[in-house]
Amino acid sequence: MSLKTGAKFYRRTDFKLTLWYILTFLISALIISGFLYLRLRHQLIKEVDRFLLDEIKELREILAKHPEEKHLLKDFENHIEARTLYPVFFKILTEKGDQFYTSKNFGMIGYVTGKDLLMKVKKGDEIRENFRPEGRRRPYRIITTLIPIPGYSGYIIHMGTHLKFVKKSLSNFKNNILITLPILIFLGSIGGWFLAKRSLSPISYITSKTKNITSKDLSERLIPRGTGDEMDELIHTINGMIMRLEDSFKRMAEFTADTSHELKTPICALRGEAEVLLSKARTIEEYQDALVHFLEEFDRMNKILNDLILLSKSDSAQMELKMSPLKLDYLLESLCNLFQVLSEQKNISFIVGPLEEVSVMGDKIRLQQLFTNLIDNAIKYTSVGSIHVSLEKNGDVALVKIKDTGIGIPKEEQENIFKRFYRVDRSRQTGGVGLGLSIAQWIVRAHHGKIEVDSEPNKGSTFTVSLPALKG
Ligand code: ADP
């Protein structure tokens, strides 16, 4: 394995997971073994202590009955000396600390009674200690206690035995752990590796599948395993993302095609007109008329381009709104004054009001553009009757209604009119390219509002814009 692939292997999640698994396993096994070792040690020493206390009890009975008779102590020593497996040895001191009787083998271990210990025992404490003679490996357990004798001053007894079997049991236990631990770790790592591999296998599938997905082919989808776990959730999320990307790529392609079409048509028409104009000599008036028409067409194309720039900026979130508190009634009143003239020219009555006093947080230029588009449409698509603009406050919402008695929009078309380049009937020949309502919808949404249409063919349309109103 090369160094490079080796490094890659160490960075792999399944390797890291297995490593963590082994580490956790090892630490838990060590903690549990340590705990069991201490429990066993404690239990074994408790047993030894119980055994020593039994002997002390026996000695106490002898001393209580015959406090001065050392030959009975000798008998006791002979009796316990016979035990080869658990030899016990003892030493008896008077309460003052003078030696009264010492069994033969007690002398051999070289235990010296400390002054502190004597003081504590005289106060009634029972001292249990482990003692290791210098230069020897074997430890001993010694219990020291006071035996009060009625009528006498009392005796201090050291009773001890070796801890050879305790040590042996503990060392056996340790060896067993050391033998089984590597086996457990080995089996644990295989299990850990298998689990890591199994739980990460969908990731390899996702990686290999998503590698094939490019902007040219977004039709590919990942297949969930149907387990309903996090991996399935991830697959659903990725599928959703690919679907949204596919949708926006499709819309982008349509948008580009529509844009090219909308701009190409007037450019071709203008070019044709210019060619006809230049085919023979014309009068000054004819040239002037043509230039006026050219200017109108340039203005129209300029408007389309501006709308397109605005929409593409809003798509890429580059369009920043300059928000400030605005009196919506003022804004509508001044806009309506401008449109009054236009509707008079078409012999349509323009009714304004009631305009309730309502303020909103908004971008003045964009809100003017929103209502201009709506009022402009109302005038464009109405030939007889009236236009009615009103504003009312409904709780926390400012409601602007633009009602006309124009040609109306068929029910099935109403949900499409906010789409880019969508025109209900291209033969209507109004000069629009179908961007006005998309821009209106974007502006309303950017102001956290809502735009709705209610319309009936040949009766008229009502566009209602709801915007969050400022308090007060
Ligand atoms: P346009 O520039 O073509 O007016 P819009 O996006 O403003 O584009 O409107 C989309 C379509 O919705 C229009 O082509 C028109 O058919 C329809 N429409 C919009 N407003 C009205 C209205 N007030 N009355 C009737 N039809 C309307």
The rounded distance, in Å, linking the Cα atoms of 449 and 466 is 5
Examine the pLDDT at 287 and tell me if it is beyond 70. yes
Q: Compute the distance from residue 331 Cα to the ligand 1 centre, in Å.
A: 23
CA distances from 333 to 336, 337, 366, 393, 437 (A): 5, 6, 16, 16, 21
* Distance of CA 87 from the midpoint of ligand 1 (Å): 112
Instruction: Tell me the CA–centroid distance for residue 425 and ligand 1, in Å.
Output: 9
Q: Which of 123-137, 306-320, 399-413 has the lowest mean pLDDT?
A: 306-320
- In which band, very low, low, confident or very high, does the pLDDT at 3 lie, cut at 50, 70 and 90? very low
Non-local CB neighbours of 174 within 8 Å, separated by 6+ positions: 37
The answer to whether residue 263 scores a pLDDT higher than 70 is yes
- Residue 364 pLDDT: 93
Tokens of 113: 């009674």
- What amino acid occupies position 2? S
**pLDDT of 298 higher than 60:** yes
SS3 420: coil
Q: What is the pTM of this model?
A: 0.56
Residues forming beta bridges with residue 386, ordered by sequence position: 349
Q: Whose CA is nearest to atom 4 of ligand 1?
A: 432
Banded model confidence at residue 428, pLDDT cuts 50, 70, 90: low
Ligand 1 atom with the smallest distance to the CA of 432 is 2
Q: What is the DSSP string of 161-205?
A: EE-HHHHHHHHHHHHHHHHHHHHHHHHHHHHHHHHHHHHHHHHHH
Encode pLDDT of 205-240 as tens digits: 888 888 877 766 788 888 888 888 888 888 899 999
Contact between 111 and 131 under an 8 Å Cβ cutoff? The reply is yes
Ligand 1: residue of 308, 387, 417 to mutate (most ligand atoms within 8 A of CB) is: 417
Number of Cβ within 10 Å of residue 356's Cβ equals: 15
Residues in contact with ligand 1 by the CB-under-6-Å rule are: 373, 377-378, 381, 404, 406-409, 417, 422-424, 428, 430, 432-438, 461
- Residue pointed to by tokens 């001053």: 153
pLDDT tens per residue across span 336-354: 988 988 888 888 999 998 9
